[in-house]
Amino acid sequence: MEIEIRHAPVFAVATVNLDAGEAVRAEGGAMMTMSPGIAIETGASGGFFKSLARSMAGGESFFTNTFTAGGEGGVVQLVTSLPGDIATIDLNGKMFVQSGSFLASDLGITVDAKWGGAKTFFAGEGLVLLHCSGVGKLLVSSYGAIDRFILEPGQAITVDSGHVVAFAETISFNVRRVGGLKSTMLSGEGVVADLSGSGEVLLQTRNLSALAGWVREQVPPPSNSN
């Protein structure tokens, strides 16, 4: 499987080139085009209960589509629902992906909803992080561009929780509020994630919650006409 990312970082398209018999699993609605001879199978990835957990708690589609190339191979193009970027991760182990950022993967990668406890509840991340494990290609998406870097041993960074896309399981995280209630309401920040340890971190340059807040401010209040 070879993957080419085009039109990044604003309107990214992932072109997935499949050899004969190769397959890629993608979120529902992610396919833009595919070549003739590609077979599509729609199902509950990992079984009913794993898919239910991913859908209800992780913000992902209950059903995923598996695209399998025929004898001559084929191409599938995948896109995101938001204007943003796509990154390819050569996974060999485990990684946490924020709710809504999983796009596609090799069949050798398992995607499961993992309970995050109160930390993810206060971060507004839907109580879970998606737990991706295995060996193969993993595609994640973002709102805005993706900024990826490596935390060295002993290094730490504080990030607005709405900018987190994914991070290696070797990285520890702690979610906390910045200041008191007054600063939370007036500063526009409020909740941050402290990431520490060693491993890869992917952040997005835009915050969907901030966009939603901006849209609400632009909508005029309903008129009280009788």
Whether residue 185 has pLDDT greater than 50: no
pLDDT digits (tens, 9 = 90+) for 51-67: 444 444 444 454 789 99
At residue 209, the pLDDT reads 75
Residue 177 pLDDT class (50, 70, 90 cuts): confident
Predicted local distance difference test score (pLDDT) of residue 53? 45
Neighbours of 127 (CB within 10 A): 18
Q: Would you state the pLDDT for residue 47? A: 40
pLDDT surpassing 60 at residue 205 = yes
User: Percent of the chain at pLDDT above 70?
Assistant: 77
Q: What is the pLDDT of residues 91-125, one digit of tens each?
A: 999 999 987 899 999 999 998 866 554 445 444 44
Kindly provide the residue ranges of all beta strands, DSSP E only, lying in 36-170, ordered along the sequence.
39-43, 64-68, 74-79, 86-97, 102-105, 109-115, 128-141, 146-160, 164-168
Which amino acid is it at 148? R
* pLDDT score recorded for residue 3: 97
pTM of the model: 0.81
Average pLDDT, the chain: 82
What local confidence, expressed as pLDDT, does residue 190 receive?
61
Nearest to 143 by CA among 68, 217, 214, 47: 214
What pLDDT, on a 0 to 100 scale, did the predictor assign at position 86?
A: 98
Q: How confident is the model at residue 226 (pLDDT cuts 50, 70, 90)?
A: low
Asked if pLDDT for residue 159 goes beyond 70, the answer is yes
Question: Could you tell me the pLDDT band of residue 17, with boundaries at 50, 70 and 90?
Answer: very high
Q: Considering only CA atoms, give the Rg of the chain.
A: 19
CA-CA distance, 48 to 66, in Å (whole number)?
16
What pLDDT is attached to residue 77? Answer: 98
Residue ranges and CATH numbers for the domains of the chain are 2-209 (3.60.160.10)
Mean pLDDT of the region 173-194: 62
